[in-house]
Amino acid sequence: MPEGDSVHKLARRLDRALRGRTVARSDLRVPRLATRDLAGREVLEHATHGKHLLTRFSGDVTLHSHLLMDGEWSVTRPGRQLPRRLQPDVRVVLETTEGSTAWGLRLHQLELVATSQEAQVVGHLGPDLLHDDLDTAEAVRRLRADPEVPLVSAMLDQTKVAGLGNLWANELAFVLGRSPWTPVGEVDVERLVTLAARALRHSATVPGAYQVTTGTGRRGESHWVAGRQRRPCLRCGTVVQMVDEVPNDPANRRTWWCPHCQPGPARPAR
């Protein structure tokens, strides 16, 4: 599932394919943008803030998109098209003068804004854990602002810190040795922010390290708890537990934990 490190890697891949190239034809397949034309603009870069992708063009124009759970981008070589079965999912087409084409599929929150006004679409987000200029003190302040919020829910709140998705929230709770439902005010938040920033950067930039949290990429052993329900904990052998997400509640996604390695509050009764 797309998380901050996923979108960071995507941005670098799109930069390699598109940066410095000029758009020959654009097709924005959402009603409010259908008449907008990006032809003639140079692709300057792909920036990210948390899980949000910002495609910046010459002339102070940014295409903002969010992948949510199922969005993706694909780039085809000159003369090639996406398979016909994928065409209904296409929301953005950017064909360059060199002939390569970028296709955005199942993109969400698609908007065009002035690059100088990007705060309109990402200004509500907390500090990005992958940015070189991460304001650690502000991230800590935001996480501490609601001390009774459960640890995992606090990490998933993108207005507190941007970039952590469900996998990282659950894995970091394990690494901290705390129950997912521990009030965040009882956690060493400075250590949490430091670990989270280091983990996402390692995942996004080190070859072979993408979303490997245990240090080994062996099948079935790359995560401490995420996806390991009813299997033994890799550290102590206790059976890993899982509870389903709360529908339509982004702060309560599917949760995995080891009852032995992560002591603390149990899931509240619903």
Q: How far apart are CA 231 and CA 257, in angstroms?
A: 11
Residue 51 is a catalytic residue? yes
Q: Which amino acid is residue 38, in one-letter code?
A: L
Of residues 3, 95, 127, 142, which has the active-site annotation? 3
Instruction: Kindly list the distances between the CA atom of residue 84 and the CA atoms of 1, 28, 90, 107, in Å, as whole numbers in the listed order.
Output: 24, 18, 10, 18
Residue 56 is a catalytic residue? no
Of residues 21, 42, 51, 219, which has the active-site annotation? 51
Residue 180 is a catalytic residue? no
Residue 253 is a catalytic residue? yes
Q: How far apart are CA 25 and CA 16, in angstroms?
A: 19
Q: Which amino acid is residue 216, in one-letter code?
A: T
Q: How far apart are CA 125 and CA 157, in angstroms?
A: 9
Q: How far apart are CA 196 and CA 168, in angstroms?
A: 8
Of residues 2, 127, 150, 180, which has the active-site annotation? 2
- 110: number of CA atoms within 13 Å, CB side? 20
Q: How far apart are CA 142 and CA 137, in angstroms?
A: 9
Of residues 56, 201, 228, 253, which has the active-site annotation? 253
Active site residues: 2-3, 51, 253
